[in-house]
Every structure is written in structure tokens, then in C-alpha cells.
């Protein structure tokens, strides 16, 4: 199996922060994975393209960066079934499908990252999420050294959640993702920005619109290093939502199937007066307050400090504790992020 020692992670994370990885393994087949289980240390982190990971501290744990490639399409009377290696790039997969007339992923265009990372946080945008298409995941289990299929129900997909963040965390690796697309495609145009498109719109047009919306609001990590939304949108119960709207008036909100209400974290941060603020070389994006940008810092800790400040200010104003979407990795592995535990300097 291929591996490298003492790898600088700066080009392996979209926040572009410095950290040194003692060993990075690059398994690319089942044999490599069996070999890997024999040498796995207690703490390690599985990395895709590093677009949702924040490394904090000078050293990272051992990293596994799988390299499973390939896209296979099969067809039934009603569906296209697409099996994709975990290391394929997500946006390239979206383009690949749409060029071949396989519709469905257009609302998920331009999401950074690898295909294997998509089920972990059940990526979603513009009214669509991975769970709408994912029918199974191929999983290599470290305990048995065997590949197995995990079906969609077992994946326990929820808003930016799955079993891979919980009971299956660090117990194996996703090597392939299976997506199923109905041949009778209907565009999903409910999200503001898409809802003015005509009903007979083409997939290409929807995709171009999504790309336009994303590029107008979200900073390009190549020029302004970031990891997309830093926090999840918080979900509150109806009573609390009523109290909030009595106090703060109209606010973006999305009723959930169970009666709870999802709020827009970007709006809360914006209303707390934090949009565009900068400190320690990092800042809150001036067009979408949910995104934290690394302008010129080398340290993940600077981003954590800013995140903690944002969390504190939003809590003071709205009594809501924002939870990060980005995964925080220290030398001892991923931490269950409570920004307050990680602050090393104050903010003003
Ligand atoms: N808003 C503000 N100020 C801001 C940002 C947002 O007032 O600075 C308001 C907007 O005007 C809108 C509402 O908040 O009324 C929601 O904003 P937006 O439509 O931009 O979406 P979001 O909830 O902030 C989520 C996802 C994004 C995804 C978009 C579009 C999460 C955590 N984020 O953002 O996903 O692209 O919806 O579907 O769910 C990501 O996960 O990295 C990501 C970018």
C-alpha cells in the first residue's frame, strides 16, 4: 500500500491551514485495506478532499486518504444506477451524470469534496440532499476485514447526519456509493433563487442557475480558503420559534416534518452583527455569514477562536447554540466540537 510520511496538510484542506501529518496511507484496493487494519493506530482520520475538515494544532493524527476510482452505470426500465468510487470528485460526478442525460444531481452542483464524503454528512443544497438518491454504500469493515453493503435505511440519513458520524465512525471506510436516478425526472425548484425558473426548464439550466447562486454567495476556496457552511442550521421546537419571532419578527425558517423549525444560522450570525468581521487573519464572509474564511492565517486555532466568538454572540442574542458542520481534527483525532473548550485567545 502506498503511504507518505511527514506530509504537510496545507494543500489537503480547503481552509489551507498548516498541520503536519506523521503518516498518510493511500489504500486503493481491498488488499490494501486488509493491510491497513494491521497497522492502524488508536487515533486516525479518514480524509476525502479536505473541504469540510479543520485541522487544529501543529500535528494531525495518522490520515487515511482512500483512492478508489471509477464510475459504473447500469440501467433498468425505470432507473439509472450509478456506482461511484469514493475518491471521485463530487462536482465532476454531477457533470458526468448530467452530460449523459442522468438527471437529479443538478441542485447539488459545485459542492466541493469527494463522493465518499457525501454520505457521511448527507450533503445537501437547494432543496435536494444525497439521501434522495443514495441507495447503498459499500463499506470496508475494519473489524472483519470484509466489504459489505449498507443500505440507505441503515445509513440513517438526516440533515447533515448519518450513521457514519456516529456508531460507524472510525470502524471502517466507505469505498463506493450507489446512487439511483429515476428516468422520469422532475426538477426541484422550490428553493428561493430557483423558484422563478419555468416548469419546462432543462437540467443544464437548473445546474447553471445553481452554479450562479453558489458562486455569487460562497467564496471560492482557491482564493478565499473556507469550508462552506461552518455551522449547521439549528432546529428549534415550535414554542421556542414563536418566542423568537415575537421578539425578532420575520426570520427565514423551514418547518420540518416532525413539527420542529429549522432556522438559518447565516441569518442569525448576520443579525448578531458579525457579517464581514475579521480577526487574527480570519473572518466571517461578507456575502454569506455562515461561511468562515481564512484570509491569511496558518493556524486552525484562529478559525476555532472566531467560531467560538460567533457562537457566543449568537447565543447571547438568540439563546441558540450553533453546532459546527465542519469536522475539527486535533492530533489525537476528531473532537466533538464545543468551540468553548478550544478557545485560546479572546476576541473583541
Ligand atoms: N441569510 C442572511 N444573511 C446571511 C446568510 C443567509 O440573512 O449572511 C439568510 C438568507 O437570506 C436566507 C437564509 O438566511 O433567507 C438562508 O440562507 P441560504 O439560502 O444562503 O442558505 P443557508 O441555510 O445559509 C444552506 C446550506 C448550504 C447550501 C444552502 C442552499 C447548511 C448548513 N448550509 O445554507 O450548504 O448551499 O443552504 O441550499 O445547511 C454547506 O453545507 O457547506 C453549504 C454551503
Q: Are residues 11 and 58 in the same domain?
A: yes
> Is 331 part of any domain?
no
List, for residues 71-85, the tens digit of each pLDDT value: 999 999 999 999 999
We report the CATH number of the domain holding residue 242 as 3.90.78.10
We report the CATH number of the domain holding residue 143 as 3.30.465.10
Q: Are residues 182 and 277 in the same domain?
A: no
Domain tally, the chain: 3
Centre of ligand 1 to C-alpha 6, Å, is 37
Supply the mean pLDDT for the chain. Answer: 95
Going by pLDDT thresholds of 50, 70 and 90, the confidence category of residue 336 is: confident
Residue at a domain's end among 159, 183, 211: 211
- Per-residue pLDDT, 146: 97
Q: What's the CA gap between 126 and 107, in Å, rounded? A: 6
121 lines ligand 1 (CB under 6 A): no
Q: Are residues 112 and 148 in the same domain?
A: yes
> Is 339 part of any domain?
no
Which helix (H) or strand (E) element contains residue 80?
strand 79-85
Q: Are residues 56 and 78 in the same domain?
A: no
> Is 170 part of any domain?
yes
Q: What's the CA gap between 123 and 94, in Å, rounded? A: 13
228 lines ligand 1 (CB under 6 A): yes
Going by pLDDT thresholds of 50, 70 and 90, the confidence category of residue 338 is: low
217 lines ligand 1 (CB under 6 A): yes
Q: Mean pLDDT throughout 157-162? A: 96
Q: Are residues 194 and 275 in the same domain?
A: no
Handedness of CA 129, 135, 138, 144 (dihedral sign): positive
264 lines ligand 1 (CB under 6 A): yes
> Is 222 part of any domain?
no
Question: CA-CA distances (angstroms) from residue 130 to 7, 73, 147, 177, 203?
Answer: 31, 17, 22, 10, 17
**Catalytically annotated residues:** 160, 229, 325
> Which region among 130-139, 266-275, 337-346 has the lowest average model confidence (pLDDT)?
337-346
Q: Containing domain of residue 125, as a range?
A: 71-211
Residue closest via CA to ligand 1's atom 29 equals 125
Beta-ladder partners of 89: 114
Going by pLDDT thresholds of 50, 70 and 90, the confidence category of residue 16 is: very high
Q: Which of 139, 117, 136, 133 is nearest to 46 (CA)?
A: 117
- Per-residue pLDDT, 199: 87
Question: CA-CA distances (angstroms) from residue 175 to 131, 150, 166, 192, 225?
Answer: 17, 11, 18, 35, 27
Give the number of the atom of ligand 1 that is nearest the alpha carbon of residue 126: 38
Residue closest via CA to ligand 1's atom 16 equals 264
Q: What's the CA gap between 282 and 320, in Å, rounded? A: 23
Centre of ligand 1 to C-alpha 266, Å, is 6
> Is 168 part of any domain?
yes
Q: Where are the beta strands (DSSP E) in 126-271?
A: 128-129, 134-141, 146-151, 172-182, 226-229, 235-236, 253-255, 261-263
> Is 270 part of any domain?
yes
Handedness of CA 238, 167, 327, 141 (dihedral sign): negative
Q: Mean pLDDT throughout 245-249? A: 97
Question: CA-CA distances (angstroms) from residue 71 to 87, 92, 176, 184, 287?
Answer: 10, 11, 9, 22, 35
> Is 310 part of any domain?
yes
> Is 273 part of any domain?
yes
Amino acid at each position: 500500500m502506498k503511504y507518505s510520511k511527514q506530509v504537510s496538510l496545507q494543500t489537503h484542506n480547503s481552509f489551507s491551514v498548516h498541520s503536519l501529518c506523521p503518516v498518510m496511507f493511500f489504500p486503493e484496493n481491498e488488499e490494501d485495506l486488509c493491510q491497513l487494519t494491521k497497522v492502524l493506530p488508536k487515533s486516525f482520520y479518514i480524509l476525502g478532499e479536505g473541504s469540510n475538515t479543520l485541522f487544529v494544532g501543529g500535528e494531525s493524527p495518522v490520515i487515511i486518504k482512500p483512492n478508489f476510482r471509477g464510475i459504473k452505470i447500469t440501467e433498468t426500465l425505470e432507473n439509472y444506477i450509478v456506482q461511484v468510487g469514493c475518491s471521485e470528485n463530487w462536482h465532476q460526478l454531477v457533470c458526468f451524470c448530467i452530460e449523459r442525460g442522468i438527471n437529479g444531481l443538478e441542485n447539488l452542483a459545485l459542492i466541493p469534496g469527494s463522493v465518499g464524503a457525501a454520505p457521511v454528512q448527507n450533503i445537501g443544497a437547494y432543496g435536494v440532499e444525497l439521501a434522495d438518491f443514495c441507495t447503498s454504500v459499500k463499506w470496508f469493515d475494519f473489524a472483519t476485514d470484509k466489504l459489505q453493503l449498507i443500505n440507505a435505511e441503515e445509513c440513517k440519513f438526516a440533515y447533515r447526519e448519518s450513521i457514519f458520524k456516529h456508531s460507524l465512525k472510525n470502524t471502517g471506510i466507505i469505498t463506493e456509493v450507489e446512487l439511483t436516478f429515476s428516468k422520469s425526472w422532475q426538477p426541484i425548484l422550490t428553493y428561493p433563487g430557483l423558484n422563478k425558473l419555468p416548469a419546462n426548464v432543462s437540467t443544464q439550466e437548473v445546474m447553471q442557475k445553481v452554479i450562479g447562486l453558489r458562486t455569487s454567495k460562497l467564496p471560492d476556496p482557491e482564493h478565499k480558503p473556507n469550508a462552506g457552511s461552518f455551522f449547521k442550521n439549528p432546529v428549534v421546537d415550535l414554542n421556542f420559534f414563536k418566542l423568537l419571532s415575537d421578539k425578532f419578527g420575520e426570520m427565514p425558517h423551514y418547518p420540518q416534518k416532525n413539527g420542529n423549525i429549522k432556522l438559518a444560522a447565516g441569518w442569525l450570525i448576520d443579525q448578531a452583527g458579525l457579517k464581514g468581521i475579521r480577526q487574527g487573519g480570519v473572518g466571517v464572509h461578507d456575502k454569506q455569514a455562515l461561511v468562515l474564511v481564512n484570509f491569511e492565517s496558518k493556524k486552525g486555532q484562529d478559525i476555532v477562536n472566531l467560531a467560538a466568538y460567533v457562537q457566543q454572540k449568537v447565543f447571547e442574542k438568540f439563546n441558540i447554540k450553533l453546532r459546527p458542520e465542519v469536522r475539527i481534527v486535533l492530533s489525537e483525532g476528531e473532537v466533538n466540537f464545543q468551540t468553548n473548550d478550544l478557545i485560546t485567545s479572546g476576541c473583541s
